[in-house]
Structures are given as C-alpha cells and as structure tokens.
Amino acid sequence: GEDVEQSLFLSVREGDSSVINCTYTDSSSTYLYWYKQEPGAGLQLLTYIFSNMDMKQDQRLTVLLNKKDKHLSLRIADTQTGDSAIYFCAERRGYNKLIFGAGTRLAVHP
C-alpha cells in the first residue's frame, strides 16, 4: 500500500501480548483503522480511532495513536491461536478513500 508502512511478520506465544505497528504519512487523515484478514476471506473491521484521540480500548484490543510521529499501534492482549491472521492498518484519505498498508502476518504458537 502506498505511504502506509507495516512490518511484515510477527510471531508470538499463545497468551502473550502482540503489538502490531504502523506508520502513515497524511497528517490530515481523520480516521485510522485496523482490519483483520483470515486466509481466503475478506477484511473484518476490528477497531478504529479518530485522529483527536490518543488511545482506544475495546476488550482485548488497545489502539495507540501518536499523531506527531504518525504512528499507530494495535495491541492484542492474551493472544490466542484464533488471532493468527494478517492485520492491516488503513488511513482514511480525503473523506472516503482508505489507504492500506501491506499487512502484518501474525503467527501465534503454543
């Protein structure tokens, strides 16, 4: 994806926390999103954060936004094998277009 950067791979042990990082470039982006994609499937919206927020928590998910550094992270607490998937960060460019990163493949092992 153009201008949205993510590390490609993350491996964690079951029960540990996972932290997936993302950097974006457009400081005027209003919303930032995290999507999950399982093999052969479409994208599932996990959570999103408005650009005037620093943090958002939703059950096991915590999103942190550092607008000054244009850095977004997704923390998954108590990671389970069912969390194994590709995670995409996306910024809303303009008012309707989502710009995605290339995705981070999360592998959860026993």
Partner 1 sequence: ETGVTQSPTHLIKTRGQQVTLRCSSQSGHNTVSWYQQALGQGPQFIFQYYREEENGRGNFPPRFSGLQFPNYSSELNVNALELDDSALYLCASSLGDRDEQYFGPGTRLTVT
d(CA 94, CA 29): 7
Q: Among residues 82 and 110, whose Cβ is nearest to partner 1?
A: 82
Radius of gyration of the chain (CA): 13
**Does residue 4 belong to the site contacting partner 1 (CB under 8 A)?**
yes
Q: Among residues 15 and 94, whose Cβ is nearest to partner 1?
A: 94
Binding to partner 1 by CB under 8 A, coded x per residue (else -) over 28-67, reads: ---x-x-x-----xxxxx--x-------------------
**Does residue 24 belong to the site contacting partner 1 (CB under 8 A)?**
no
**Does residue 95 belong to the site contacting partner 1 (CB under 8 A)?**
yes
- Cα–Cα nearest to 63, from 104, 19, 7: 19
Question: Are 70 and 51 in contact, with CB atoms under 8 Å apart?
Answer: no
Identity of the residue numbered 8: L
